[in-house]
Structure formats: C-alpha cells, structure tokens
C-alpha cells in the first residue's frame, strides 16, 4: 500500500487518488468531537491542545502568520498553534502524503481553485454553522467567496481576497517620454505603451520588458475570465459544466491577443529575468499584471522602486478583474479538542481586526465587506485600485487549478515554440479542460 501511495505522489496524482488508495470513500468524514450536528460538549477552558496550521511558503505571509499565532496564543494560552510551511511546488504532495497517513494539518491553507477536489476526497470538514453559516458568509464576505459553495455548503473561509491590477514603473515611463502619472487605460493603449517601452540590445536580447509575459504567473488568470469577457465570451457555462473559451469568435480573438503580445508585438518573454515578478521588482519591466499580494513583497524587496498601480485596462467598454483567494479549512484530522481549537483559530483569522492587519501588511484585501469599505485603506493609492475592483472581480471555477492552468500554458507554448495555429492550440486546451470537468461531475 505504501508503495502504491508513493508512486501516486511521484506521478503527480492529487489528493483524491491518494485518499482513494487508502480506502477513503470520498464522503466527508465527521470527527468525534464538537462537530456540526454533534452534541458533544466543547473542550474545557483549561484543557491544553496543540494544532497544526499548514500553508505554502510565501515569506511575508509566513512572517505575519507567526505574529498572528503569537497574538492568538496570548489570548488563548491553552491552545498552541504550530505553523508549518512548504515550497509551493511540493505543497500539495506534502499534504497528500500526510493526510493519507492520518497525520498532517488540522487547518490547511488552500488556493480556492483546489477546494473542490479536497472536498470530494473527504479531506475537509464542513464549517460549523454556529460560527460560519452560509447566510453569514454571503452577507458579510466578498461575493467571490461564493465560488467555493459546494452543494450548498462551505468547507473553507478566507482571511483575505485579491484582485488583479496593472503595475507600472514610473521611471521607465519618464525615461521614454511618457507621463509617469498616466498609465494605459485600455488594451489598445497597453499594447501601444508596451511596444514603446520594450528595449532590446544590439544582439537582439531583451533588456527591458514593455509588458511582462509569464503564463505561469497571473497571465493565465488575466486570460480567464478577464480577456475572454472583454472580448465577449464567458469562460464557463452558468452550471459550471462546460468550458467555453472557444465557444465564439471572441474567445479565439482573446487568445490570439494574448499570445501575440509575445509572438507579434514582442513586448515580453517567458522566463525573462527568471520570472515576471522578479523582472518588475528588479526594474527590468515597465508594465506588469499581478495581484494585490505583490504589494507586500515589493515593500520588503524593492522599497525604492518608483511604481504605481491602477485598475486593469478596459476593452470594448468592459471593465473587469479576476478575483481569487487563499482559504482556510479544517481537515478530518481535527477531532475533539483539536476541532474546537481549530474553529476558534479560524474565528480569529476571520476577525475584522486580523483582516485589517493582513490588508496593511500583505496587500491582500480583508475578505469581509467591512474591510473593503474602510476609508483609511482607500487612502492608500496603491491598494485602492484593487479594492475598487472588488465589485467587478469575477472568480473562475476550477476543478483542478493546476491542470487547468497547465492546459492553457501548454496552448501558449504550442503557439510560441512550435508555431501551432492559435485556434488549434485553444481548441486542444479546451478539450483537455473539458475532460477534467466531465470526470469531476461524472463521479
């Protein structure tokens, strides 16, 4: 059995397969302690308990979580929270191995696009209605959170959400005769500015990206749903069962616009200066599309960078953004006193006080509407554009975010590296993602 589990991990199968191999029936396992629908009394106030909180390594988030845990433990001296973190690329494999062995986190931090498969595998418990009822969540949290409502239930809750914005380097603008206080407002201006700002050396090597081009970054999120919607095509059907990237001419045009930034306009390159974020932080990119969380790393890694942030460029009069979030859920490992402690820690992580601290230090926006309407936060000229886009930000429904993203990245590579026709590449990507959806709903 161990060999089977290890081989599944090595070939990259996800949590569902691992749990199935260990005999999990795919249903939501209910713990023995104070769970929803369980009348067991909560743990006594003097009972000492230790719980584990897992997340992937993102320096500013890990550091802040250490601070939050210290504050929480001071207020709850009988609860010890141990934070563990792992590199992003190995995070899900670590989770899969631990959960399948009956060890690992009591609370897990997941990208929202991973939640459906973790629910299906039985890894997560439904949130207790006493603290996180569906009515409360939908009344007080940002609308995008509803993308993770599965069969009328919520299994996770975020501390913060984020939207995409357009970053620009003011010094590069000024050096090329552009007003450093006037970023592009439309896709047409975006391409025009990016071409002007792109610099190559005498040997044809890229020196300055006009617009970063990293499909594995936020470029794929910009395509769906932002570009697709701006070109007149909804990315997925209302029932979340049909991929619609290529359902109209607008879908093809959106994809062609995206790949032509590198293929025709040549304003950026994949993996230039390591990646898109590094290029912008290093002053090697003029324009960059990224999430609000980038504000935290820019503050710590590039405090002297002269940059601004604005809303995403519009097209055909359509203004929109991509909304996403990392979200916290209680695993089936948490039972009894551990479950009670996990609920209490989730209540702390979703308090207005914690959300405001998260917004100020990380750049992600507190997930409750109350935070988004905070006049003090709106005074921050770099944070305000992200907050302003919350009402128009649209989350995309993923069954398997990694596989969905890879399908689009492969399509882009086919066009740029193998000169495949963009229409054919998009068709093949849609076929791949549709098979993922079909398999999920079928089972």
- Above 50 in pLDDT, residue 434? yes
Cβ(233)–Cβ(250) below 8 Å: yes
pLDDT, tens digit, 9 for 90 and up, residues 117-164: 899 889 999 999 999 999 999 999 998 999 999 889 999 999 999 999
* pLDDT above 90 (res 265): yes
Distance CA 327, CA 92 (A): 14
Q: What is the mean pLDDT of residues 14-40?
A: 37
- Beta-bridge partners for 321: 393
What are phi and psi for residue 51, nearest 5 degrees?
A: -125, 155
Grade residue 312 by pLDDT with cuts at 50, 70 and 90: very high
Torsion of CA 277, 180, 372, 361, to 10 degrees: 50
Q: Which residues contact 359 (CB under 8 A, 6 or more apart)?
A: 160, 365, 366, 371, 377, 383
Token pair 């047409």 in the structure block, residue? 188
From residue 140, give the alpha-carbon distance in Å to each of 111, 320, 396. Answer: 21, 22, 21
pLDDT at residue 45 in the model: 55
- Residue-wise pLDDT for 47-105, tens only, equals 899 999 999 999 989 999 999 999 999 999 999 999 999 999 999 899 888 887 888 99
CA–CA dist 92, 110 (Å, integer): 9
Its pTM stands at 0.78
Angle between helices 336-349 and 59-75 (to 10 degrees): 110
pLDDT at 339: 97
Q: Which residues pair with 82 in a beta bridge?
A: 52
CA distances from 192 to 16, 94, 209, 280 (A): 46, 45, 13, 19
Q: Which CATH number fits domain 163-323+399-442: 3.90.1140.10, 3.40.190.10, 3.30.460.80, 3.30.360.10?
A: 3.40.190.10
Distance (Å, whole) CA 223 – CA 257? 10
pLDDT at 26: 33
Task: Report the 10 Å Cβ neighbour count for 297.
Answer: 18
CATH topology of domain 43-162+324-394: D-Maltodextrin-Binding Protein; domain 2 (3.40.190)
pLDDT for residue 293: 84
User: Which part of the chain has CATH 3.40.190.10?
Assistant: 43-162+324-394, 163-323+399-442
Structure tokens of 443?
């089972």
Prior bond to 340 cis, omega within 30? no
Tell me the pLDDT tens digit for each residue of 368-392: 988 888 888 889 999 999 998 988 8
Q: Indicate if the pLDDT at residue 30 is higher than 50.
A: no
The pLDDT of residue 27 is above 60: no
Alpha carbon distance, N-terminus to C-terminus of the chain: 24
């Amino acid at each position: 059995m161990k060999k089977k589990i290890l081989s599944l991990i090595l070939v990259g199968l996800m949590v569902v397969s691992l749990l199935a191999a260990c005999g999990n029936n795919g249903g939501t396992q209910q713990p023995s302690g104070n769970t929803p629908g369980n009348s067991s009394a909560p743990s006594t106030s003097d009972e000492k308990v230790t719980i584990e909180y897992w997340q992937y390594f993102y320096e500013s988030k890990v550091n802040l979580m250490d601070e939050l845990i210290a504050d929480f433990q001071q207020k709850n001296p009988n609860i010890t929270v141990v934070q563990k973190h792992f590199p992003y690329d190995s995070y899900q494999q670590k989770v899969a191995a631990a959960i399948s062995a009956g060890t690992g986190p009591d609370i897990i931090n997941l990208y929202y696009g991973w939640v459906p498969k973790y629910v299906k595998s039985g890894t997560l418990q439904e949130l207790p209605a006493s603290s996180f009822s569906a009515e409360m969540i939908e009344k007080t949290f940002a609308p995008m959170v509803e993308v993770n409502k599965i069969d009328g239930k919520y299994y996770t809750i975020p501390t913060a959400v984020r939207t995409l914005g357009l970053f620009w380097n003011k010094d590069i603008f000024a050096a090329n005769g552009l007003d450093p206080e006037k970023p592009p407002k439309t896709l047409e201006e975006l391409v025009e500015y990016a071409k002007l700002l792109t610099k190559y050396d005498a040997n044809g090597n890229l020196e300055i990206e006009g617009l970063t081009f990293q499909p594995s970054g936020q470029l794929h999120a910009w395509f769906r749903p932002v570009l697709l919607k701006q070109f007149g095509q909804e990315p997925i059907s209302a029932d979340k069962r049909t991929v619609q990237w290529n359902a109209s001419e607008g879908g093809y045009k959106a994809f062609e616009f995206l790949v032509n930034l590198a293929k025709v306009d040549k304003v950026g390159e994949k993996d230039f200066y390591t990646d898109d974020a590094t290029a912008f932080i290093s002053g090697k990119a003029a324009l960059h599309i990224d999430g609000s969380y980038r504000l935290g790393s820019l503050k710590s890694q590039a405090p002297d960078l002269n940059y601004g942030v604005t809303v995403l460029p519009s097209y055909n009069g359509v203004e929109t953004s991509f909304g996403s979030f990392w979200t916290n859920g209680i695993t089936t490992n948490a039972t009894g006193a551990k479950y009670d402690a996990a609920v209490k820690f989730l209540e702390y992580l979703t308090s207005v006080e914690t959300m405001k601290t998260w917004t100020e230090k990380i750049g992600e926006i507190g997930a409750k509407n109350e935070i988004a309407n905070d006049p003090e936060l709106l005074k921050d000229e770099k944070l305000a554009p992200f907050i302003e886009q919350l009402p128009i930000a649209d989350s995309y429904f993923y069954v398997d975010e990694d596989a969905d993203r890879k399908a689009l990245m492969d399509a882009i590579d086919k066009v740029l590296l193998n000169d495949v026709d963009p229409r054919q590449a998009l068709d093949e990507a849609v076929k791949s993602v549709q098979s993922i959806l079909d398999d999920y709903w079928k089972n």
